[in-house]
Chains A and B, each alone.
Chain A
Amino acid sequence: MRIPAEQWARLLSIPVFLAIWQLVAGLELVNPLLFPPPTVVVKAFFDYMLHGDGVTDAGWSIARVVIGYSAGAVVGVVIGVLTGGSAILSGLLTPVFQLLRPIPPIAFVPIVIVWFGLTELGKWFLVFWGVFFTVWLATHMGVQRVTETLVRAAQSLGATRWQLLWTVQLPDALPVIFVGLRTSLSIAFYTLVAAELAGAYAGIAYRLEVTQQNMQIGHMMAGLLMLGFISTVSDRLFQSASRRLLHWST
């Protein structure tokens, strides 16, 4: 049985990446303290997970992402459907959202402290902020760009506005909405860096900050590796779930 070339490429992707990294780090073209080889990072990773705070940190970070992401996704879809379906609401809200959308969550840290103090709510809000706009925009555009023929067909069959939205516009927009939901899943992990910057006692991004202060770059990169790993696993799970839910579009 022959393994296709693309499968070979996939199998070799990460080992080749690690080999190049090890080689470049081994050449010491840059200071190995600042750019440690993967062997050092993997050792730091196991140290972090087995003897350090890796499990606790991962628990806190995942909880923050799950809560912030869920809230941002639900609110983003609801508002996106409303602005996508109503020209008045779109006119009212879109300029404000477009103005706020580019503001990075990290710039919001001092304002979030003033609003929420150093509570978990503030950390969830920062993740929410990162997720909401992407989901809202995808939903808004998905609903607005629904296939015209389907809308006309439904209208000619006497569909009410609610029926039109629920049975035509939303199912047709779902593939676009899911692209937004998937993209924002990665964004949720980016925003952890901002969310765990102020007043956190645990969390992967919090530990990144501490290890960077201590110039323990190997441990810092182990934290990044863990963030990347959790983010990849969640992306895969999301992809698999979306294939089942959107069976008609795949």
Chain B
Amino acid sequence: MILTNARLIDPASGRDAPGALWIEGDRIADVAFGAQPAPPEGATVIDCGGHALAPGIVDVGVSVGEPGARHRESFRSAGRAAAAGGVTTMVVQPDTDPCADDPAIVQFIARRAAEASPVRALPMAALTKGRRGLEMAELGLLRDAGAVAFTDAGNTVADARVMRRCLTYARTLGAPVIHHPQEPRLSDGACATEGEYAGRLGLPGAPAMAERIALERDLALAELTGARLHVDAITTQGALTALRRARDAGLAVTAGTSIHHLSLNEIDVGAYRTFFRLDPPLRAEEDRAAVAQALAEGLIDLIASQHLPWDEESKRVPYEAAAVGAVGLETMLPAALTLYHAGVMGLPALFERLSLAPSRLLGLEGGRLTRGAPADLALFDPDAPFVLDRFALRSKSKNTPFDRRRMTGRVLRTWVGGATVYDRAAEG
């Protein structure tokens, strides 16, 4: 199969140029930048119409409701949403019920994903039993069962001794520890970032500093243990300062941020709109801008959707009582493209954060348009405008903060392992 007349985006080489790409089986067989040789007789030719062709997005930290909450999201619905969003690998959170702190659950997740999801889905396992932060989970057995990383998802391990042991123990297992740095005692009961806005709304807030405090401890523990630590989401200026210092000191710590914290700020919450209730809570505009800048500079390594589906009932309640999180698989690319349209980042750099860096983090082959790489690809029109209708999302849950927003950038077609998993033209 040959994809011709494409605008090839290769984050590995930083190239953004016209060209063609050959797929054989489930792999990329060849890539030609510039001059496009005539396709051989009998080959399937797909004309990309000059649109952008990039390695598929690898999304670290997707919550799927299997097992435990299939009414919110199944592997089938999440996988379809991912395919429509140009996401070719979902790295799945262990925040299931029962929690993925047991090898059998990790195997179940991997099996269900393989059966039902049109895109790849890789399980992560809990770092501590029950994600309670008290006892280390069976990390070795979980790794053997197929876990690609260890994380307590949205829970912070409060106990420094437990965290230290986990980091030390995980060091030799070949999978990173991913942590959510929000000082739990300062964040207790909070549903907003402390400040003028939360104060006027009368919402209990946690200081932005809660992120830096937790991060500083984690950075110190990473230094102490020499472990490979990834921070799931940095969302504040204060935490960036700490991260920069650690990086400058040569610490092997990587960090992500969430597409929502990159796109929205606390004012977007408006009159208690619960689809904007996230963890960490949305931040001040200065924080959002600093995070975008840090992403462009490469201080922040990757973007994640932090896809977290909730049914309508969980969000149709007062703000303080509302479930925390938003769906993001289908909206991550158009939301991220605002950085490209604003001139903050080129497309290769953007896909470095969306595809190559997360692949590197987990030791995956994706994120490259090179011979032999898996044919996980997203074809998209970066300039196509549309207004998001949340009820048109493929996810079972429709809790997106982008409802009725004008967005720019549409996925046209997605391939996983050389097979088409989404085709906008065919779906109509």
A and B from one complex: no
